[in-house]
Amino acid sequence: MAVLTEKTFPMYHENMDDSKLLWTEKSRRKVLETPIFDVNEIERESTDGRAGTFVEIATPRWINVIPVFTGTDGQRYFVMERQFRHGSQSVTLEFPAGLVEEGEDPREAARRELLEETGIKAGKLTQTGFLNPNSAFMATGGYFYVAEDLEYTGERHFDPNEQIETVTISEAEVFKKLGKGDADNGIMLVSAFLYLRFRGEI
C-alpha cells in the first residue's frame, strides 16, 4: 500500500493508443422498437479474444437550449419548463429540449422547439457542445445551445402529450438548485456545465 502520486498510473496524453481497447462488431439485431428509442443487441469481440453480447439504446438525436436574458434588475434569468417526466415519474424543472426530426438541421430543431414550447424567438443561438448522455449504452447524443436576444411571440404549440408550464428563474438560483429536488435531471447539469464554459467561468 502506497500513497498515490502522479507516478502511480501513466499520465494521460492526447495521442494514447486505443487499438488494444477496441471491440469489433460481429453482428447486431434489433430486439425492441418503441416510439422514442430502439434497443439493439450486438455481439462484439475484444483484441484479447473475449466475446460478449451488449445492448444499446438508439434514440433520435435531440437538442437542449438555455434561453437567457438580462432582467430589468441587471440579473441574468433563464426561461425553464416544468412538466411531468415519465422516466423519473416527477415534475421537473428543465431547460427546453426536444428531438431533432429526420433530415432536420439540429440548429433549426433548437429554434423550432424553443418557439413551439415557449413561444420564444432567439436572435442569437450558440452551440455549446454535442454529447452522449451515457456512453455505456446510449448510441447517440444531443446538441446543446444557449439562446440570447429573446423575443416572445405570445403563442405556444405543444405536441399531443406535452403539458408544460413555462417559468422564469434567475441564473444564480438555478445554479444553486441543479442536482437536487425537482432539478435532478442530469442532462440539465450537462447543459449548465457547458454554459459555464460558454461564459468563460471554467
Contacts of a copy of itself in 143-202 (CB under 8 A):
150-154, 160-161, 163, 165-169, 173, 175, 178-180, 184-187, 189-190, 192-194, 196-197, 201-202
- Quick one: which of 85, 105, 108, 124 contacts a copy of itself (CB under 8 A)? 85
Query: How many binding residues for a copy of itself (CB under 8 A)?
Result: 104
Find the part of the chain contacting a copy of itself (CB under 8 A) among 29-37, 100-108, 109-117.
Answer: 29-37
**Comparison of 105 and 165: residue with beta carbon closer to a copy of itself:** 165
Q: How far apart are CA 158 and CA 67, in angstroms?
A: 18
- Quick one: which of 83, 107, 112, 126 contacts a copy of itself (CB under 8 A)? 83
Based on the shown chain and the rule CB under 8 A, indicate whether residue 133 belongs to the binding site for a copy of itself: yes
Instruction: Tell me 139's DSSP state.
Output: -
Instruction: Copy the grid coordinates of residue 105.
Output: 438541421
Q: How far apart are CA 68 and CA 168, in angstroms?
A: 10
Instruction: Copy the grid coordinates of residue 121.
Output: 424567438
**88-117 positions binding a copy of itself, by CB under 8 A:** 88-94
Instruction: Tell me 179's DSSP state.
Output: T
Torsion of CA 42, 129, 61, 40, to 10 degrees: 10
